[in-house]
Amino acid sequence: MYFLPKKITSFPPLSEANADGLLAIGGNLNVESLLLAYKSGIFPWYSESEPIMWWSPDPRFVILPGELIISKSMHKILRNEVFEIKFNHSFEKVIANCAKVKRAGQRGTWITTAIQTAYLKLHKKGFAISGEAWKNGELVGGFYGILIENSFFGESMFSLVDNASKVAFLTYAEKFFKEGGKIIDCQLYTKHLQSLGAKMIPRKLFIEKITTRVV
């Protein structure tokens, strides 16, 4: 296992990750380190009582252009404008709500206070974005992630009302691909995201796609 120094200048080769995708432990969550990680196909994931852990699973779960799936029922909800969709209106509230959501089979508080602070800094720098579903003036669902040029790295979502986060995400994904987006990284498999078109691809192919920049 590779232990990172407090000041991160580089990450180990992705081939050093174990079978679960764990690559390194330690380091920090400053803006420069997080951007270097995402550009390298790495993301942090750990619980409150653990050191910072850095992951790069193989294969990787992604949505590619032309493969987004919107069901007939979701088309109807989108068409009827059941929710008001906004972007970057309440990032701090979105990430705080994502931290509260309990998910079966996932560690409970991985969106730690340190993670929230770090991603708020990324948001203020223009790299972390939120998609939000509002109803009757209340935030009822949303998602957040990292946008670096033509790659979007999804982090988490929450819903207080059925379909709220799904509508926010689909609205964003359609816009993202229409504007030339190349890949949406979903990180790890979920049945929900598979229903929206996500699939597994080899990590090598994933790295090729995220390192092909807009010209």
Which residues on neighbouring strands pair with residue 212, listed in sequence order?
none
Annotate the chain with three-state secondary structure.
CEEECCCCCCCCCHHHCCCCCEEEEECCCCHHHHHHHHHCCCEECCCCCCCCEEECCCCEEEECCCCCCCCHHHHHHHHHCCCEEEECCCHHHHHHHHHHCCCCCCCCCCCCHHHHHHHHHHHHCCCEEEEEEEECCEEEEEEEEEEECCEEEEEEEEECCCCHHHHHHHHHHHHHHHCCCCEEEEECCCHHHHCCCCEEECHHHHHHHHCCCCC
Residue pair 27/52 in contact by the 8 Å Cβ criterion: yes
Q: Are 186 and 63 in contact (CB under 8 A)?
A: yes
How far is residue 124's CA from residue 165's CA, in Å, rounded to a whole number? 22
For residue 110, what pLDDT is reported?
A: 84
Token output for 73: 């029922």
Q: Six-digit token pair at 65?
A: 């252009």
Give the pLDDT score at 101. Answer: 78
Q: Are 162 and 141 in contact (CB under 8 A)?
A: no
Placement of tokens 């092909």 in the chain: 212
pLDDT beneath 70, residues of the chain: 102-109, 213-215
> How far apart (Å, rounded) are the C-alpha atoms in residues 159 and 200?
25
User: What is the model's pLDDT at position 15?
Assistant: 95
Would you identify the CATH topology of the domain 2-58? Answer: Alpha-Beta Plaits (3.30.70)
Angle 90-93-98 from CA coordinates, rounded to 5°: 125
Contact between residue 142 and residue 99 where contact means Cβ atoms under 8 Å apart:
no
Give me the residue spans of the domains in the chain. 2-58, 61-210
Architecture per CATH, domain 61-210, reads as 3-Layer(aba) Sandwich (3.40)
Burial (CB < 10 A; 0-12, 13-18, 19+), residue 11, is buried
Q: Please give the angle made by the CA atoms of 19, 25 and 29, to the nearest 5 degrees.
A: 125
